[in-house]
Structure formats: C-alpha cells, structure tokens
Amino acid sequence: MICKHAENTKKSLEEQGCRTVEEIDAHLEEDRRLAELGDASAQYNVGLSYFRGVGVGVDKAEGLKWYRLAAAQGHAAVQCNMGNAYFAGEGISVDQAEAVKWYRLSAAQGDANADNKT
C-alpha cells in the first residue's frame, strides 16, 4: 500500500513539474519552509510526505504532527486524513469517535471523501 501511495505522490509531484529526486527534494524543502511559517497547504504536503515516505522515510507520527497543524487551520483534506488515521490507527490508537469528528469537520467544508464516511 505504501508503494501505491508513493506512486500517487510521485505522480502528483510530476504534475507540478518535479521529475528528478533532486526536484522532489527541493519541493519538499520548500514545503517544509512554508509549513514552518504556518502555511496549511504546505503542512498538509509535509505530513503527506511522511505518511507516504516520499522524499523522507515513512514516519506517521511526524506526519500526524504536520497534519494536526493544518487540520487546526481548517484544511478539509487533512481533516479527512486525520479521520482516516484515527479510523485505521495509523500512527495513533484507533478511536472511532475521533475519526467521526474529523470526518464531520471535513465534510462540513464539502470534502466528498469525508462525506462518504460520516
């Protein structure tokens, strides 16, 4: 499954013009810089990189750290991902109630993936 996630992330980066490992690394470095400045989309990207192991090793705890920052700012996609993490116990303990909370927050913003899970 991680390989499929990595493949999807690689495809996404390629769509943004990244073709080499160096370009992917540079993209991740820029996302990390912006994430540290509080940019929710960059925080989501950094978290996703850790979850999928693209440009960094898989580290779901580190990914969740970045997800939490973006989710607190109302980033709908990352709120759905937080729900997924709680639902499956990825990097944290399974907590169905917490999963539903995150899915509902995301769905309230129109995220169809989350809406299908509530």
Torsion angles phi and psi, residue 25, rounded to 5: -60, -45
Rounded Cα gap, residues 73 and 68, in angstroms: 9
Give the single-character DSSP code of 73. T
Answer positive or negative: Cα dihedral of 41, 46, 51, 53. Answer: positive
Rounded Cα gap, residues 103 and 91, in angstroms: 17
Both tokens of 41, joined, read: 């989309």
Identify the weakest region by mean pLDDT among 22-26, 56-60, 77-81, 114-118: 114-118
Q: For residue range 20-63, list pLDDT tens digits in order.
A: 667 777 878 999 999 999 999 999 999 998 988 888 889 999 99
Kindly report whether the global pTM for this prediction surpasses the value 0.75: yes
Both tokens of 101, joined, read: 């909370």
Both tokens of 64, joined, read: 């969740």
Helix (H) / strand (E) element for 84: namely helix 76-88
Rounded Cα gap, residues 66 and 51, in angstroms: 10
User: Is residue 1 predicted with pLDDT exceeding 50?
Assistant: no
